[in-house]
Amino acid sequence: MRHLAALGGLLFLALAAFSQAFQPPTEFKSGYTLPATTAPPPRADWLAWMDVGLLALALCLAAWLVLRKRSRVGVLLLTIGSLLYFGFYRHGCVCPVGSVQNVALAIADPGFALPVTVGLFFLLPLLFALVVGRVFCAAVCPLGAAQEVVLLRPIKLPDWLEHALGVLPFVYLGIAVLFAATGSAFLVCKYDPFVLFFRFSGSSVMLTVGIGMLLIATVVSRPYCRFLCPYGALLRLLAPLSRWPVRITPHTCVNCMLCHDACPHGAIHPPTPEEKLPRREGKARLIGLLMLLPALIAASAFLARQASPAFARLHPTVRIAEQVSLHSAGLLPGETNEVMAFEHAAGDAGILYEQARVIQRRFDRYSWYFGGWIGLVIGVKLLALALRRRRTEYEIDQGACLACARCYPSCPVTADGLPEVKQPEGSAR
Amino acid sequence: MADGKATTRRGFLTHALRGLGVLAAGGAAAALARAGEEGTVWQIDPNLCISCDKCATECVVRPSAVKCVHAHALCGYCKLCFGYFESESIPDELAGTGAEFQRCPTDAIQRRFVEDPFYEYRIDEARCIGCALCVRGCTAYGNGSLFLQIRHDRCVNCNECAIAVACPAQAIRRVPADHPYLLKKTEAAE
């Protein structure tokens, strides 16, 4: 604070010196009046609330189209509508995917004000997932929509690849929270592969990534949603709890496999084969994995902690402190902009280094959590693979189901719609 | 899963977890409502700005949402303006106002004679690309009445401002949306 006051004083003195040099004319003989400095206002607040309203409306519409109308065409039309509004008109910002970082930063840093509208963008799709599954992914998310409209000929990925890549969203979520909570960077926004299409501008690197991702999306449906999206990771956890999830046939599955073929997201699992793993062997593997879990978490937390100084370099203050210390040691060839800015502001190097140390300590702490999270994700994935549930018919994996409604027309039992709307609870499983 | 109304262990767990989820979301919403902060926008603190050229190159909007702003009350209305002319080596009799003598690469500063010896300088925002060359000249040799601001009719208010990330002076920060500008003022106004 004292530092700031000193800075302000210096600037004031400098300003005073200059104004003496070029005293602004106080009056003009010709009756000239000073033009006002214009200040066009930012986007009105109520428009942000309208966005929230539209999000809620789109979610309701998506739920109705997926669960009641069971209309693939309707879902696709809504998808295009969302792409146009939330994507091209709103430039893809703020979206629930990126809002994860705002929420993480607001929790970690009470000084960061989270606007209510952004908080609602974060909460609404999660709430809907608890009730009706991932309808947000189906037809509301502009990033998903960008991939949805380019899909030409979906191929099925082999199980092992699907499982391996399926861990990535949780890893990305960890990374996004780590850097957002430390106030370093909003990586999800920075490395959003589609937002540059919405804005018609962006770096050449991200353009390459974006085009590559869209090319992949022509044959692998929704690669970003399934294998990267950090918000999708949250939805994947919540959607299996949904009260009224997507159901293909509520009564009689004839095990025809047609829905399995129609799903481009690998979200419909076939019945398990009759022969089972011997119970004892399965148990031993489970116990082994359970004992491995803490070791995995500890090891990964330790590794992440070792990488903490490298992580911290993404924080601008740490970067500037590094440059200033290099400069004062005479190790920088010239004067960088950062050093110049620091000297221009007459900053105190001691205070800067102390700030950098505080940030480094924060990174040390969060790196533990981050590493632990990665270990937990891998451990739980291994456990989930070891736990084999018996299935007697084709079942939807609600976590992976994007509620795109492609499977409905394929089902010979309910192709013409559900025979009745109210089903006895639980009979679809 | 059992048919009918019988509650299975799995079903019970699902119900309980869903209930917990809704409760947590409700709690979070309540906390949000209590913390109730209204929107913020990005803005440049002109006192920290070192007028590098990052604002012209880093913004996701092309040309940049950052423009030069003129605080006329601070301006000296000089005949020889260092924000307008290329260098201080311009001969005293002012060789002319041709493009080769101007600092601005896009001819975005309009010079107009007011009365002897005063000249008015106005920014044509449609031409300005936010390169800060004029700001550098005006700040180094003049009153500093030219400075950069993020213009909110152009800014798309990204979640993370691409210029703020690249700014070597950390001069860009979030400000309340109802006070979206950090304008330079005269001493009397301060």
Predicted TM-score (pTM) of the model is 0.86
Average pLDDT over residues A171-181: 95
Q: What is the pLDDT of residue A17?
A: 45
Average pLDDT over residues B121-138: 92
pLDDT band at B117 (very low <50, low <70, confident <90, very high): confident
Are A209 and A146 contained in the same domain? yes
pLDDT over 90 at A357, yes or no? yes
Q: What is the pLDDT of residue A6?
A: 46
In a domain, A425, yes or no: no
Instruction: For chain B, give the number of residues.
Output: 190
Find residues 56-75 of chain B whose CB sits inside 8 Å of chain A.
60-62, 69-75
Across chain B, mean pLDDT equals: 83
Tokens of A59: 């979610």
Average pLDDT over residues A48-66: 94
Most confident of A41-50, A353-362, B20-29: A353-362
Contact residues, chain B, for A117 at CB < 8 Å: 39
Contact residues, chain A, for B63 at CB < 8 Å: none
Are A141 and A165 contained in the same domain? yes
Q: How far is CA A53 from CA A36, B25, B27, B180, in A?
A: 37, 18, 20, 25
Residue B100's CB: how many other CB atoms inside 10 A? 8
Average pLDDT over residues B17-40: 75
- Work out the minimum CA distance from A30 to partner chain B, whole angstroms: 7
In a domain, A283, yes or no: yes
In a domain, A400, yes or no: no
In a domain, A422, yes or no: no
Helix, strand, or coil (residue B70): strand
pLDDT over 50 at A52, yes or no? yes
pLDDT band at A411 (very low <50, low <70, confident <90, very high): confident
Are A60 and A200 contained in the same domain? yes
Average pLDDT over residues A195-211: 90
Q: What is the pLDDT of residue B88?
A: 57
Question: What are residue B66's phi and psi, to 5 degrees?
Answer: -85, 130
Are A263 and A288 contained in the same domain? no
Contact residues, chain B, for A337 at CB < 8 Å: 50, 52, 54, 168-169
In a domain, A424, yes or no: no
Q: Which of B18, B38, B60 sits opposite A115 (nearest CB)?
A: B38
Are A217 and A110 contained in the same domain? yes
Q: What is the pLDDT of residue B67?
A: 95
In a domain, A236, yes or no: yes
Tokens of A55: 């999000």
Average pLDDT over residues A289-311: 94
Q: What is the pLDDT of residue B35?
A: 61
Last residue of a domain, one of A247, A272, A297: A272
B128 HSE (CA, 13 A, CB side): 26
Are A183 and A295 contained in the same domain? no
Are A16 and A79 contained in the same domain? yes
Residue B166, chain A, CB below 8 Å: the answer is no
pLDDT band at A302 (very low <50, low <70, confident <90, very high): very high
In a domain, A34, yes or no: no
User: CA geometry: angle at B68 spanning B64 and B72, to 5°?
Assistant: 160
Are A255 and A290 contained in the same domain? no
Are A130 and A71 contained in the same domain? yes
Residue B1's CB: how many other CB atoms inside 10 A? 11
Contact residues, chain A, for B27 at CB < 8 Å: none
pLDDT band at A202 (very low <50, low <70, confident <90, very high): confident
Look up residue A341 and give its amino acid: A
Q: What is the pLDDT of residue A181?
A: 93
Q: What is the pLDDT of residue A419?
A: 59
- Work out the minimum CA distance from A33 to partner chain B, whole angstroms: 10
Q: Which residue of B has its CA nearest to A337?
A: B168
Average pLDDT over residues A338-358: 89
With b for 16 or more beta-carbon neighbours within 10 A and e for fewer, the A256-267 pattern comes to eebbbebbbbbb
pLDDT band at B33 (very low <50, low <70, confident <90, very high): low
Q: How far is CA B84 from CA A357, B54, B146, in A?
A: 43, 20, 10
Strands (E), A302-394: none
In a domain, A395, yes or no: no
Query: Which stretch of A268-272, A280-284, A384-388, A415-419 has the lowest confidence by average pLDDT?
Result: A415-419
Q: Which helix (H) or strand (E) holds A71?
A: none
Query: Which stretch of A103-117, A128-142, A156-170, A369-383 has the lowest confidence by average pLDDT?
Result: A103-117
Are A103 and A147 contained in the same domain? yes
Q: What is the pLDDT of residue A63?
A: 95
pLDDT over 90 at B150, yes or no? yes
What DSSP line would sit under A257-293, residue for residue? Answer: -HHHHH-TTS-EEPPPPSS---HHHHHHHHHHHHHHH
Q: Which of A19, A93, A185 sits opposite B156 (nearest CB)?
A: A93
Query: Which stretch of A354-363, B66-75, B97-106 has the lowest confidence by average pLDDT?
Result: B97-106
pLDDT over 60 at A11, yes or no? no
More reliable by pLDDT, A262 or B93: A262
pLDDT band at A363 (very low <50, low <70, confident <90, very high): very high
Q: Which of A16, A93, A320 sits opposite B158 (nearest CB)?
A: A93
pLDDT over 90 at B10, yes or no? no
pLDDT over 90 at B115, yes or no? no
- ipTM score of complex: 0.80
Are A304 and A266 contained in the same domain? no
Last residue of a domain, one of A250, A272, A294: A272
Last residue of a domain, one of A240, A272, A304: A272
Average pLDDT over residues B140-148: 89
- Work out the minimum CA distance from A23 to partner chain B, whole angstroms: 6
First to last CA, chain A: 62
Q: What is the pLDDT of residue A35?
A: 85
Q: How far is CA B190 from CA A201, A253, A354, B74, B140, in A?
A: 39, 76, 32, 12, 22
Are A293 and A150 contained in the same domain? no
- How many domains does the structure of chain A reveal? 2
Residue with tokens 């214009």: A38
pLDDT over 80 at A426, yes or no? no
Backbone region of residue B51 per phi and psi (left: phi > 0; alpha: psi in -120 to 50; beta: other values): left
Across chain A, mean pLDDT equals: 86
pLDDT over 90 at B91, yes or no? no
Find residues 248-287 of chain A whose CB sits inside 8 Å of chain B.
none
Q: Which domain holds residue A145?
A: 2-22+50-272
Optimal mutation site among A131, A234, A320, A337, interface B, most CBs of chain B within 10 A: A337
Find residues 115-174 of chain A whose CB sits inside 8 Å of chain B.
115-117, 119-120, 123, 126-127, 130
Q: Which of A11, A116, A424 sits opposite B32 (nearest CB)?
A: A116
